[in-house]
Structure 1
Amino acid sequence: MKVTEFDPPSHGQPRPSSGDTPVDAGRINVVDALRGSALLLILLVNIAFFSSGYEFHLVDDPAHGAFDVLVSGLVELLFAMKAYLLFAFLFGYSFTLQIDSAARRGVVFGPAFRRRLSGLFVIGALHAVLLFHGDILTTYALLGLVLFAVRRIAPRTALIVAAAIVCGIAFVVGVAAVLGGTLVPDEAAAVGAGARSTLALGGGLGDVLLEHLRSMPAMLGGLAVQGPLAFAAFLVGLAAGKHRLLAAVPAHEALLRRCERVGYPIGLAGATVFAIGGGTANLTGLMVSIVTAPFLAAAYAATLLRLFTRRPRVADAFAPAGRMALTNYLGQSLLCVLVFTGVGMGLVGRTSPAQTLLIALVIFAVQMVASSWWLRRFRYGPAEWALRAWTHRESRRN
């Protein structure tokens, strides 16, 4: 009898990891662990947009004191503009694994992948309206079509194109800064808008949905920068995947150490300029971060990969969350809506940045435990199962 995706795995199933979570054949545990880590970093950045309406308008809450500003600045310095690059890199890397998997099974990759992207786009659109106006899934779905079109690009060429994209975006933002452009032309008006957004998020379901819809145009404008940078990270992940970089991490120890030696000094220096300059609200700091954030993201990845290789049990702790990345990404938004908006506990505008980060850590800890529990019983997370069912619906009909 065939085991379905939601059937518990056989007790005799091999377990490549050192823990007790069943791992599908062909999965790379460190990739899942790295993806789980990226989910945590993304939550640490995104949760601020749930806890306060001011964040979206690129201004600080007037009620925040010096310590609050310091905590927010540390998040800007360490994680903003870096977390999503790490996640995008893994999207590109996993793309090569999907191609290999299709080849092993003798399946035509293109139709199934395009169908998968269409499902991802729909999920992202619903996510943006219902839960989080800062959704990235729709962008990934559209950029995935471009990635598929250039799938045969040579690794070296992919890296050159990625560097060109980063430099090109930085140049455009730099020119805008020199010409006196600003993302917050009237700070007083932005503070007023932040207060109105906070009030709306504290209202009922209708108020929250209207606020999400109102925010869409500005969020789409932000994707003019984030989208190309995410695609550049796709290409780096594609190049790494073609070299099977994460399939044998110890063999690339010298490269990982080089990423740390170069990435941390350059990345942290640029992140400091970015954070002190006002984060994404300042075009000059944004330009510096566009150039240097990839270095810091690469250093983070190198450190985490070396940690997971030397401490397999740490990798086993993060890997289940990474295997259920889509479910957990959506779950993070749902939990934040229930904690912060008027739909649930209504804590929006009532928690300090430090308290907000603590809530993020609690949410992710719960997700780690829940993911491990779920995957001991089922092969896929709920959202992964639904997307997989949509992706392969036509082939099952035939």
Structure 2
Amino acid sequence: MIPNHAAPVAALGPLPLGERIDALDALRGIALLGIALMNVESFTSSMLDAGTGIDPRQAGPDRFADGFVYIFVQGKFWTLFALLFGMGFATMSERARAAGADFAPVYLRRSCGLLAIGLAHSLLLWSGDILFCYALASFALLGLRNAPRGALWPIGGLLHLTIVATLLTATAEIAVAGNAGGGAGDTAAENALRSAEAAAYAHGSYAEAVALRWRYFLEQNLSTLWVYVPMALGMFAIGAWFVRSGAIVDPARHHRLYAGLRWGAGLLGLAITLGGLAIDSEPVLVGGRLSAADMLSATMELAAAPLMSLAYLAWLVRTLQRGARWPLLFAPAGRMALTLYLMQSLAGTLVFYGYGLGLWGQVSRAPQVLGACVLFVLQLAFAQAWFARFRYGPMEWLWRWFTYARRPALRRAAVPTSP
């Protein structure tokens, strides 16, 4: 059984430290490392080109690092975070029922707070934000609060399959049309945006970078919400099922499910990802250069990501069931995942952007990945030191304050010493 100290509470409020599920914090911490490995490329190159397969111009350690991230990390960890978000939603909902509290107002404040944080992150810090997408999906998730437990898996799967089917239809249309999808106007607009990124991020001031983030948000981020919001909502629904079914608290009673996720979903996801790479190892999803092979390869990677995310969850659960303690070393980072996620963006932009160290475009793939690992180790040390004195991470504390409309205690109570 996964360690669990959860018990009914008298009133709805921030979850006390003694009632957290350690395995979920560990999984959040591991996912945070994956997010760092995935996002580092986007700090030092055009956002249009990040995550587009394995660059054939690379060799040696750079090619290995690029391939490892694309196959095992790209797209897998933001979906894993979405799964965990759904678990948190279901936990809040069940606690509200136990307390006889009105869940909707608290949850809506929580979602509005996340929306504000996501907007600020995307517009003021870094364009690759995922929090805004999570927040939009979280509003829709409230409508699933009273959905039958057995409907949550089908809802999650259907949402994901609908996006995949839509992209496959677009792939077929491009193949039938026999063109490169898009035109000269698209190519010119994309090249202009790349040039603007290089000017603002590599050499520009903070104000110039912020101006470009606004432009990117309006021209790019909003146009992809139709893909990422339904995908996030689907993972939310599946995560809620794990809590409502008891599968995350008592996995021994669901051993067949976890075995199926470890071997079935995991291997299928890996096979689909590798199949996409065999079709096109560097899918470029920008209009002027888009081909049917690009589209199919990227769609296969997207289709595989939730399968591998679920497998990662199942493997971690299995590791803990067997008595391993090393995953729990990641738990402090998972307890302040929001704070550390924002810190990763701050560190990435200060290292690579012109208003920081100005290394934009100058660091190859292997050092990028190594640097992301070093940053995470430092973050983990920071989290351990922080929780020696405080109950919540700084951003988590502010978010809880806004959510529950009362200030939670931040400092740990002093332990009295013997005279």
The TM-score range, normalised by the shorter chain, is: 0.7 to 0.9
Contact 1:53 1:201 in 2 (8 A): no
Q: Which residue of 2 aligns with 1:47?
A: 40
Letter in 2 for 1:215: Y
**Residues 307, 291 of structure 1: CA spacing in aligned structure 2 closer, same or farther, 3 A cutoff?**
same
Letter in 1 for 2:401: A
Letter in 1 for 2:146: R
Q: Which residue of 1 aligns with 2:11?
A: none
Gaps of 5+ in 1: 1-14, 17-22
Structure 2 counterpart of 1:340, from 342, 352, 358: 352
Residue-by-residue CA offset, 1:2-27 (whole Å, 9 max, x unaligned): xxxxxxxxxxxxx97xxxxxx71221
Q: Which residue of 2 aligns with 1:229?
A: 231
Tell me, in whole angstroms, the C-alpha distance in 1 between the residues paired with 2:87 and 2:306.
16
Tell me, in whole angstroms, the C-alpha distance in 1 between the residues paired with 2:54 and 2:258.
39
Tell me, in whole angstroms, the C-alpha distance in 2 between the residues paired with 1:196 and 1:142.
28
Which TM-score applies when normalising by structure 1?
A: 0.86
Tell me, in whole angstroms, the C-alpha distance in 2 between the residues paired with 1:382 and 1:54.
29
Tell me, in whole angstroms, the C-alpha distance in 1 between the residues paired with 2:378 and 2:257.
34
5 Å matches for 1:241-320?
241-276=243-278, 277=280, 278-279=282-283, 281=285, 282-320=294-332
CA-CA distance at 1:49 after TM superposition: 0.8
Tell me, in whole angstroms, the C-alpha distance in 2 between the residues paired with 1:136 and 1:59.
18
Letter in 2 for 1:148: L
CA-CA distance at 1:395 after TM superposition: 9.8
Residue-by-residue CA offset, 1:292-322 (whole Å, 9 max, x unaligned): 2222111111112222343553232111111
Q: Which residue of 2 aligns with 1:213?
A: 214
Q: Which residue of 2 aligns with 1:385?
A: 397
CA-CA distance at 1:142 after TM superposition: 1.7
Q: Which residue of 2 aligns with 1:176?
A: 170
The question of 1:238 aligning with 2:240 is answered yes
The question of 1:150 aligning with 2:152 is answered no
Residue-by-residue CA offset, 1:146-179 (whole Å, 9 max, x unaligned): 1111111122211112221122111111111111
Q: Which residue of 2 aligns with 1:114?
A: 108
**Residues 395, 354 of structure 1: CA spacing in aligned structure 2 closer, same or farther, 3 A cutoff?**
closer
Residue-by-residue CA offset, 1:205-255 (whole Å, 9 max, x unaligned): 022112212211212222221111111101100111101222123443342
Q: Which residue of 2 aligns with 1:6?
A: none
Tell me, in whole angstroms, the C-alpha distance in 1 between the residues paired with 2:138 and 2:47.
32
CA-CA distance at 1:272 after TM superposition: 1.4
Q: Which residue of 2 aligns with 1:204?
A: 205
Tell me the C-alpha RMSD between the 2 structures.
Answer: 2.8
**Number of aligned positions between the proteins:** 377
Moved more, 182-191 or 103-112: 182-191
Q: Which residue of 2 aligns with 1:162?
A: 156
CA-CA distance at 1:326 after TM superposition: 0.9
Q: Which residue of 2 aligns with 1:7?
A: none
Residue-by-residue CA offset, 1:255-277 (whole Å, 9 max, x unaligned): 22221111232111111133452
Letter in 2 for 1:356: Q
Gaps of 5+ in 2: 6-15, 286-293, 409-419
5 Å matches for 1:51-62?
51-53=44-46, 55-56=48-49
Contact 1:171 1:287 in 2 (8 A): no
Letter in 2 for 1:90: L
Find the residue that maps to 1:25 and give its secondary structure. helix
Find the residue that maps to 1:179 and give its secondary structure. helix
Contact 1:183 1:283 in 2 (8 A): no
Letter in 2 for 1:272: L
Contact 2:106 2:404 in 1 (8 A): yes
**Residues 62, 89 of structure 1: CA spacing in aligned structure 2 closer, same or farther, 3 A cutoff?**
closer
Q: Which residue of 2 aligns with 1:26?
A: 19
Q: Which residue of 1 aligns with 2:96?
A: 102
